[in-house]
């Protein structure tokens, strides 16, 4: 609001990205969002929606040998036990990859805690954290090679 101007703007645009949890259908969620936006346009505004696309949510399998190797590698790199957390981000092609290779254990890693502001204009990566992530990846590959 600090940067808002006292002026009527004839056109406004917004880019909307919606993350959906596993178990929901991406197309149905998008259709529901579009219906909501069209039904709730303020002050008679005309709403048009373009470039819509969807990606299905992805959930990794846990408990397999690669997963256990990754948790062990993370613990070794950081010096304490790794914990599981739920996170709302995903990479859309992972759903397709999991469908094509249903027996694969897909490990998704990155240095992207909330303070890193991933993919934002002010994204920041802590170099100590990046170093530990690289070590964890190396320890993980070492464990897989010894299987």
Same domain, 43 and 15: yes
0.75 exceeded by pTM: no
What the block records as the tokens of 89 is: 């981000």
Question: What residue numbers bound the domain in which 3 lies?
Answer: 1-55
Distance between CA atoms of residues 15 and 23, nearest Å: 25
State the Cα angle at 137 between 132 and 140, rounded to 5°. 120
Average pLDDT, the chain: 87
Q: Are 57 and 22 in contact (CB under 8 A)?
A: yes
Q: Looking at the predicted structure, is the pLDDT value of residue 2 above 80?
A: no
Distances (CA, A) of 86 to 21, 22, 107: 10, 11, 14
Higher-pLDDT residue of 21 and 72 is 72
Q: Do the domain assignments include residue 124?
A: yes
Looking at the fold, whether 35 and 75 belong to one and the same domain comes out as no
pLDDT at 1: 64
* H or E element at residue 26: helix 26-39
| pLDDT score for 33 | 93
- Give domain status of residue 72, yes or no: yes
State how many domains the chain has: 2
Residues 120 and 51 in one domain: no
Residue written as token pair 């397709």: 96
> What sign does the dihedral 16-17-19-24 (CA atoms) show?
positive
Within-domain flag for 60: no
Instruction: Please indicate, yes or no, whether residues 46 and 91 belong to a single structural domain of this protein.
Output: no
Same structural domain for residues 37 and 78? no
């Amino acid at each position: 609001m600090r940067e808002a101007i006292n002026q009527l703007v004839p056109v406004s645009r917004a880019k909307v990205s919606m993350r959906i949890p596993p178990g929901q259908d991406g197309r149905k969620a998008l259709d529901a969002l579009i219906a909501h936006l069209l039904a709730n346009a303020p002050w008679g505004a005309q709403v048009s929606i373009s470039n819509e696309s969807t990606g299905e949510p992805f959930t990794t399998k846990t408990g397999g040998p690669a997963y256990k190797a990754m948790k062990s590698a993370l613990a070794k790199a950081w010096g304490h036990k790794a914990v599981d957390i739920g996170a709302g981000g995903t990479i859309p092609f992972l759903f397709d990859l999991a469908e094509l290779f249903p027996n694969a254990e897909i490990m998704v890693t990155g240095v992207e805690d909330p303070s890193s502001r991933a993919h934002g204009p002010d994204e920041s990566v802590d170099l100590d954290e990046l170093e530990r992530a690289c070590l964890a990846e190396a320890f993980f590959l070492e464990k897989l090679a010894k299987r």
